[in-house]
Amino acid sequence: MKMTEKDKRVFETAQQARIHTPLCLLVLILTLGIAMTSVAAPKKMATSQPENCALCHGKEKALPAGHNDIKKMNYEGCKKCHIDTLRLGGKLPGGHIHQLSGVSCEKCHGKVKKQTEVPMKQCVTCHNPEKLKEKTAKVKPENPHTSPHYGTGLDCNACHRQHGKSENFCAQCHKFNFVVP
Amino acid sequence: MSEDEKKPKNPSRRAFLKSTGGAAAIAGIALGGLAVNPKETAAALNPMPKKWDETYDVVIIGSGFAGLAAAIEAKNAGATVTVIEKMFVHGGNSIINGGDFSAAGTKMQKEAGIQDSADIMYNDMMKTGLYLNHPGLAKTVAEQSNSALEWCQSLGARFAKVGFHGGHSVKRAHQTINASGSEVVNKLFDKVNALGIKVQTRTKLVRFVSDKGGRIVGIEVRTGYKFPDEKSGKTAYIKARKAVVLTSGGFSQDLALRQIEDPRLTDKFGSTNQPGATGEALLAACMAGAMDLQMDWIQLGPWTSPDEKGFGHVPLFCERLVGYGPMINPKTGKRFFKETGNRKERADAIILIGNPVIIMGDSYAVPKQVFPNALQKGMEAGAIKKFDTLEDLAKNYNIPFEAFTAEIAKWNSFVEKKKDADLDCMIFQDAKPTVTPPFYAARLWPKVHHTMGGLVIDNNAQVMGFDLKPVKGLYAAGEVSGGVHGAVRLGGVAMADCIVFGRIAGKNAAKEKSQI
């Protein structure tokens, strides 16, 4: 499993603690605590449904305390509250937004026993690259859906992740502060 | 096969360095007269896989200019071909390059009234390269630069105009219509796809597989690799019936390797390169018996800006202005180095000053010379600034105003005479004194740009080994090879080098006898 930034920090702290023995126990407890929460990572269930958090997340609370009941809710329903600073784009994994919009796992992955990565040609059956380019034409400092390097042909997966945090691929070389949904 | 051999070794940098040390030691033994052939030893250390997952005549590593050119030529010569690329996308550094293709004696030069020849280009390359260039390689690039340019044009790549780069004696940098190497890469890529060549991205070379005689017969890769996670992906083996062509680029982003070769190049210096420009494929070739040369000649671009990331827009601003506008040290208000000097001279001069310097131009030179999009984007990023007066400019960069205005007046007198009595900057015939407001300026601080050293190749792109004999079945082209540029690569000659030697490597790889 890949170390998260948080894990790394704890790990580095633990390394230093070898010298500072009195800190050792505290750090150990912290490390264990984090290790235990990371065990409870959600399962990817082919049968998942948007309103059934527990199916994938188990006993872990997926929604914050006091969150509205999301039974029978779709993405349009979420957006009634999630506007402005509360907006979900870029925070909620893309797979959830797909689910909430009625796009089930198998609509992209197909009816298969073992689900594999979804190639771009599947994405473009719904998301037309030329239309996306028009839609984001006014985004500053650059239109994220076209570039002198790849035109509209850059693989969607370069930035957009469905089961993890999306990535600002352009930021490898550019100072573009895109919020990537 | 022992348990150890079955498991793919994690190709960590430490392991690589250890093994290269090992390879060098083996080479040492060989030169010491013991009957040990380094390539045979390499073969012994690199076991043959039990089965090959895929088989092609020619396997190409890297999908930049050189790799794609090699793929097209190998396929056109009748070979079955695949291209592997470790990154998520094709194109490597080539797809982010500035799109300047240096070529001599071209149709575009003739139309622009520029007198040039392969000999003049060769002499420029050698002079700037401090005559450390391997003459045969430099000559090959100069002589075939025009046909390489025409070949790209025949595949649909469009070039807009011929510009100048420091160190050349004439204008010979043919700029693509979008001022990016992507114009060429994507036309080559379209051709590769049209020819049905499989390009496998996220597929990383782990090691070369040699037979008992030391011939390269295939490669071990990791498929589904996610840069830079060395544990990602699955092991697979690809057989090359005829040859492997290595076009994996340079190592400007490889902090560890570049500091071994040039300890000054710490993380204080950024790089213009894409993050995947690391040296593990080059080192893997060394471990399979290939020899390296001139690895410590690492070029810094003197035209990059500390006010934007990576290559950015300022290089396209700066290089179009040299010979039209002055370069100023803001501490003194004075010029400090020949603006049209080569990359190494200029980068060294800026590093010696120790702080960023200024390149500037007026409203005659800038609109005439600078690609409009580069100017606009550079200004939006805040890396290029516009000033109504010289006083505003001086104030912004804390330049002592009196010394500065005196220096500008002196520069303008040189421009009138077309002769720089102070620093011998080449002043172009159509240059005019820097007097027309508004004025444009940008700060410059060098970034690691190109690694001149690399694998030893002959004029046929055949890689040579530590025994000074060919490493059979292995060709290399582009930045991973060494010797073409000597100490300093001239601007725009990387494109020429990659296309010329990529094509040569592809053709010769396809000509090899099939090892079934």
CA atoms of A92 and B327, how far apart (whole Å):
49
User: Closest to A175 (Cβ–Cβ): which among B224, B275, B381?
Assistant: B381
Q: Which residues pair with B441 in a beta bridge?
A: B360, B385
How many CB atoms lie under 10 A from the CB of residue A131?
A: 12
User: How far, in Å, CA of A4 to CA of B222, rounded?
Assistant: 23
- Say whether both B87 and B207 belong to one domain: yes
Chain B residue numbers with beta carbons less than 8 Å from the beta carbon of A173 are 96, 274, 309-311
Q: Which two tokens stand for residue B341?
A: 């000097």
Q: Write down which residue in B407, B423, B445 finishes a domain.
A: B445
Q: Residues of B numbered 213-232 whose beta carbons fall under 8 angstroms of chain A's beta carbons: which are they?
A: 224, 229
Size of interface A-B (CB pairs under 8 A): 40
Partners of residue B325 on adjacent β-strands: B322
Residues B281 and B422 in one domain: no
Angstrom distances, CA of residue B152 to CA of B61, B263, B341, B493: 21, 38, 29, 15
Interface test with chain A among B96, B192, B307, B376, by most A beta carbons within 10 Å = B96
Tell whether B439 and B409 lie within a shared domain: yes
Q: What is the pLDDT of residue A40?
A: 56
- In angstroms, rounded to a whole number, what is the distance separating the alpha carbons of residues B292 and B221? 22
- State whether B267 and B415 are in the same domain: no
**A117: nearest CA in chain B?**
B224
Residue ranges of domains in chain A? 5-39, 42-116, 117-181
Residues B466 and B424: their CA atoms lie apart, in Å, by: 43
Q: Phi and psi (nearest 5°) for B456?
A: -75, 125
Q: Is residue B1 part of a domain?
A: no
Shared domain check, B463 and B436: no
- pLDDT tens-place string over residues A11-54: 444 444 444 544 445 545 555 444 444 445 777 777 788 778 88
Last residue of a domain, one of B419, B445, B471: B445
Instruction: Select from B96, B229, B274 the Cβ nearest to the Cβ of A2.
Output: B229
Pair (B137, B81) in one structural domain:
no
Q: From CA A176, how far away is CA B8, in angstroms rounded? A: 38
Residue B482 and residue B402 in one domain: no
- Cβ distance A173 to B311 less than 8 Å, yes or no, reads yes
Contact B311/A at CB under 8 A: yes
Q: Tell me which long-range contacts A33-41 makes (C-beta under 8 A, separation of at least 24).
A: A34/A6, A34/A7, A34/A10, A38/A1, A38/A4, A38/A7
B308 near A CB under 8 A: yes
**pLDDT score of A5:** 55
What range defines the domain where residue B108 resides? 97-180
- pLDDT per residue over B329-367, tens digit each? 999 999 999 999 988 899 999 999 989 999 999 999 999
pLDDT, mean over chain A: 79
Residue B385: its pLDDT value, please? Answer: 98
Distances (CA, A) of A33 to A14, A29, A58, A161: 13, 6, 18, 27
Strand partners, B238: B54, B219
For the cut 90, the answer to whether the pLDDT of residue A59 exceeds it is no
Contact check, Cβ <8 Å, B229/A173: no
Residue A4 — pLDDT band, cuts 50, 70, 90? low
| Closest Cα in chain A, distance from residue B393 (Å) | 25
Task: Measure in Å the smallest separation between the Cα of A157 and chain B Cα atoms.
Answer: 9
Asked if residue B34 belongs to a domain, the reply is yes
- Residue ranges of chain A whose CB lies within 8 Å of a chain B CB: 2, 117, 141, 148-151, 154-155, 157-158, 169, 172-175
pLDDT of res. B294: 98
* Interval B142-197: pLDDT, tens: 999 999 999 999 999 999 999 998 889 999 999 999 989 999 999 999 999 999 99
Instruction: Tell me how many domains chain B contains.
Output: 3
Strand partners for B287: none
- The answer to whether A50 touches A100, Cβ cutoff 8 Å, is yes
As a whole number of angstroms, the distance between CA B335 and CA B357 comes to: 10
For residue B271, being part of any structural domain is answered with yes
Angle between helix axes B493-511 and B135-154 (nearest 10 degrees) is: 90
| Residue B329 near residue B353, CB atoms below 8 Å | yes
Final residue before a domain boundary, out of B387, B417, B445 = B445
Cβ distance B309 to A2 less than 8 Å, yes or no, reads no
CB–CB of A172 and B275 under 8 A?
A: yes
Domain-embedded: residue B2: no
Question: Are residues B381 and B342 part of one domain?
Answer: yes
Q: Kindly determine whether residue B88 and residue A158, on different chains, have CB atoms separated by under 8 Å.
A: yes
- Clarify whether residues B165 and B200 are in a common domain: no
Q: Do A174 and B186 touch (CB under 8 A)?
A: no
Question: Is B91 touching A (CB cutoff 8 A)?
Answer: yes
Query: With an 8 Å Cβ cutoff, are B380 and A150 in contact?
Result: no
Query: CA B271, CA B384: separation in Å to the nearest integer?
Result: 19
Query: A2: which 2 tokens?
Result: 């890949």
**What pLDDT was estimated at residue A18?**
43
Q: In CATH, what number is assigned to the domain containing residue B221?
A: 3.50.50.60
Q: Is the minimum CB–CB distance between B160 and chain A shorter than 8 Å?
A: no
Same domain assignment for residues B176 and B226: no
- Give the whole-angstrom CA distance, residue A5 versus residue B69: 41
Domain CATH code at residue B385:
3.90.700.10
Please answer yes or no on whether A155 and B88 come within 8 Å at the CB atom.
Answer: yes
Q: Note whether B345 and B269 are same-domain residues.
A: no
Contact predicate B462/B215, CB 8 Å? no
Q: Are A34 and A5 in contact (CB under 8 A)?
A: no
Chain A residue numbers touching B180 (CB-CB < 8 A) = 148-149
Structure-model confidence comparison of residues A130 and B23, the more confident one = A130
Put simply, the answer to whether A150 touches B182 (Cβ < 8 Å) is: yes
How far CA B330 is from CA of B228, B240, B282, B441, in Å, comes to 39, 56, 41, 12
Q: Which of A118, A142, A147, A149 to mutate to test the interface with B (most CBs of B within 10 A)?
A: A149
Segments of chain B with pLDDT less than 50: 1-11, 13-35
Judging by DSSP bridges, how do beta strands B198-200 and B81-84 pair with one another? parallel
- Does residue B77 fall inside a structural domain? yes
d(CA B477, CA B457): 8
Q: Do B91 and A175 touch (CB under 8 A)?
A: no
Q: How many CB atoms lie within 10 A of CB B231?
A: 11
Residue B317 lies in a domain: yes
Residues of B classed as catalytic:
343
Per DSSP, the residues of B331-384 read: TTTEE-S-TTS-HHHHHHHHHHH-S-EEEEE-TTHHHHHS-HHHHHHHHHTTSE
Instruction: Give yes or no: residues B63 and B197 share one domain.
Output: yes
Residue of A nearest to B96 (CA): A149
* Kind plus residue range of the DSSP H or E element containing B251: none
Record: contact B186-A151, CB cut-off 8 A? yes
Tell me the C-alpha distance between B417 and B411, whole Å. 10
Distance CA A173, CA B312 (A): 8
Residue of A nearest to B376 (CA): A141
Quote the ipTM score. 0.77
By C-alpha distance, the chain B residue nearest A158 is B88
| B186 found inside a domain | no
